[in-house]
Amino acid sequence: MTDSAAGSRGSLPPDPADLSVTIVDGYVDEPAHFGVPPYLSTYPRYTAGALVDAGVPESGITYHTIDELREDRNKRADVADATCSSTSAG
């Protein structure tokens, strides 16, 4: 037996409320995504919405552009420490 919450759930997937997810926007070059304020591609928006619908709290979702991660190496810890990460690029 284990004392962890995951252990008490057996082989069930983790509880979405316990997840931390980092979304990395590597940008897409589809014409439909250009020039639409706030300049956030629909893919990270869809991903965040699906995560919230699945039960992941908004506070458990972090969003970074690839440029942010290049400019501030400390933000890379958000990706490394996340339970899950999602990257969209194209």
Which residue reads 């339970």 in tokens? 83
DSSP assignment, residue 31?
A: G
pLDDT-above-70 percentage for the chain: 79
Mean pLDDT of 13-42: 80
CB-based burial of residue 23 (10 Å sphere; 0-12 exposed, 13-18 middle, 19+ buried)? buried
Tell whether the model's pLDDT for residue 62 goes beyond 90: yes
- Band of the pLDDT at 2, cuts 50, 70, 90? very low
Q: What's the full length of the chain, in residues?
A: 90
Tell whether the model's pLDDT for residue 27 goes beyond 70: yes
